[in-house]
Amino acid sequence: MTNDLDDLRSELDEFAQPEKKGHSAREERIIAGFEEIQRFVGQHGRAPQHGEGKDIFERLYAVRLERIRTLEECRTLLVPLDHQGLLSSADDAEPVKAMDDDALLVELAGAAGTSEFTELKHVRSSIEKRAAEEIANREKCEDFEVFKPLFELVERELKSDLRTTRPFGKNATIEVGHWFIVDGQTAYVAEEGDDFDSPQGKKDARLRVIFSNGTESNLLRLSLVRALYKDEASRRITEPDAGPLFSESWDDEDIESGTIYVLRSISKHPFVAEHRTLIHKIGVTGGKVETRIANAAHDATYLLADVEVVATYKLAGINRRKLEALFHRIFAPAQLELTIQDRFGHPVKPREWFLVPLHVIDEAVQRIRDGSITEVVYEPNKARLLVRD
């Protein structure tokens, strides 16, 4: 208990040290302590308060805020960061005297209740520990179904070598749309707030990060950077790269090594029947297409119905697995969301059918051949391939 009190006393006493120019280690700890109070206010919608019904951490934040409000040097340092107006009542605050260990014990005892003071070991004030807290502090992602297909697509692209993983390098960037592996989970940066200057003088922003286990975290960009550096197993997931899909030259000895096929379903499902000319399955095979689809009526992958082949493209020197993954990535925004019952009565969601006109698929094949496919994205609302901004 003595060590815990010493640590707490040291943290509170730092606010009374002489001011130094620049952000010294002490000033960074003051800022870090104030940011903890700000996070509390953001979560609870009010300033921390004293009282027997408050937990020990809220009581600690209340004591800390009182100290900050009464010390001019702290107010000068923190006013530019006080977007919640926590320091506005400083003029009416009573001076706070320095507390010895006994006074500090009395001050915190009412908030502690039956808790042991050893719980104070969980107070984290260093930058590294705060970063770990933000990564660990996750909530359930209520709209995870929106992101789940993206996670499934990235997993398939990793298996097909369309994406790879690399260590998180020095001075690496983090932007919306980037993918990472951190703390054992795949992480997707879904949203980013406005930039602001961090206490360390670097640009920072609040991110919305979705994790593969169906949780999300509203953490700072710099916190994610620190977590990626700290986790030795962390990785950046690269952007999709088609790589060498085709051989650079075709010799007389080259043989056909792949066929892109486009199928249309004969299913009587109401939605499929209504949009039959738009719903297509795109695949790549090294054998005969007829053999591939021979059992379609008994296979949920083919919507448990016969299919017709509406287009084929024969290619040489092709990496079939990468090419199929590339098609599925391009047309992912138009993936068919349809659940059917397999022959055992189990619900199945076929993943290789897309609401894409045949002429757009043909254009995509031509762009893959000439290498311009990386310059376009598919816009479902316009049913067109558009050049990236």
Residue 39: both structure tokens together:
């996070």
Q: Of all helices (H) and strands (E), which one includes residue 211?
A: strand 206-211
Q: Are 65 and 12 in contact, with CB atoms under 8 Å apart?
A: no
Residues 50-102 pLDDT 10s: 876 677 777 778 888 888 888 888 888 888 888 888 887 544 444 444 444 34
- Identify the CA nearest to 242 among candidates 165, 164, 151: 164
pLDDT above 70 coverage of the chain, percent? 74
3-state secondary structure of 312: strand
Band (pLDDT 50/70/90 cuts) for residue 12 is low
Mean pLDDT of the chain: 76
pLDDT above 90 coverage of the chain, percent? 12
8 contacts: CB under 8 Å, gap ≥ 6 = 60, 104, 108, 120, 123
Q: For the ranges 43-47, 199-203, 248-252, which has the lowest average pLDDT? A: 248-252
Residue 209 has pLDDT above 90, yes or no: yes
Q: Are 316 and 260 in contact, with CB atoms under 8 Å apart?
A: no
Q: What is the DSSP string of 82-126?
A: -TT-TTTTGGGPPP-----HHHHHHHHHHHHTT--GGGGGG---S
Q: Give residue 321's pLDDT.
A: 76
C-alpha radius of gyration, the chain, whole number = 29
* Domains in the chain: boundaries: 2-125, 134-237, 256-387
More confident residue, 89 or 288: 288
Task: Provide the Cα torsion 120, 121, 125, 127; round to 10°.
Answer: -160
74 contacts: CB under 8 Å, gap ≥ 6 = 15, 30, 67, 68
Residue 113: both structure tokens together:
């209740």
Q: For the ranges 161-165, 206-210, 296-300, which has the lowest average pLDDT? A: 161-165
More confident residue, 66 or 254: 66
The mean per-residue pLDDT over the stretch 140-157 comes to 87
Residue 114 has pLDDT above 50, yes or no: no
Q: Of all helices (H) and strands (E), which one includes residue 127?
A: helix 127-136
